[in-house]
Amino acid sequence: MKFFYNLERTDFGEYITIEITDNKNSGIGAIVPERYKGENYKVIMGAIEEYRYVVEKATIKDTFSIPYMLEEHFPNHPKVIFAIDAAFKELYSKTYNIPLQKLLGRENIQECKVENGEKIFPEEYGIIDLVKVLPLFDDYVFMLTKYPKGEMHEVLRALSTNFKHVEVFSWKERLFI
């Protein structure tokens, strides 16, 4: 596996993109640091660098275990783990020609705004498979972030189909929640 990450700049600040590739296909992930939570791109890039060895050593067959390996290796960076997990899932989807919808979600796609219900930001959970089962335990509102260049959109969209309620907003709006 080849693992790349890059600092992207926008009019509202910086965010980090990651790419995992096997030379034929690639998967993309993104992390937007939320300053009001004390996050910044330097800390996130440091965490990504700590994960580099584990990711580069992994194979496509590790797709469903990689987030757990990362959590064990260097915990407390759920957004980084989520972005890497999303990139692996996208790569797996392309490699084996399995639609992300089938891999991560259900057939029905719905976008609606709900005022009540606990809002969850999937990136903050770190592990996609954990987010996938959350609707079994409570009536959550899935907060689907649209990233600057559409990073992780297909992964998040497919994952959101597991939830009854989905709220869609831009990454800019997320910075001011």
CATH code: domain of residue 8: 3.30.390.10
Please, which contacts does 6-10 make with residues 24 or more away whose CB atoms are closer than 8 Å? 7/41, 7/45, 8/148, 8/149, 10/148
Task: Assess contact for 166 and 156: CB atoms under 8 A.
Answer: no
Whether residues 153 and 110 fall in one domain: yes
Looking at residue 151, its amino acid is: E
More confident residue, 106 or 144: 144
pTM beyond 0.75: yes
What pLDDT was estimated at residue 118? 86
Residues 108-135 pLDDT 10s:
545 455 556 788 899 999 999 999 999 8
Instruction: Please give the average per-residue pLDDT across 8-31, as a whole number.
Output: 91
Task: Assess contact for 18 and 5: CB atoms under 8 A.
Answer: yes
Into how many domains does the chain fold?
2
What pLDDT was estimated at residue 109? 46
Range of the domain at 111: 105-175
Whether residues 12 and 85 fall in one domain: yes
What whole-number distance in Å separates Cα of residue 1 and Cα of residue 19? 10
What pLDDT was estimated at residue 29? 96
User: Looking at 3-7, 99-103, 152-156, 169-173, which range is the least confident one?
Assistant: 169-173
Nearest 5°: the CA angle 66, 72, 74 is 100
Instruction: Please give the average per-residue pLDDT across 154-165, as a whole number.
Output: 92
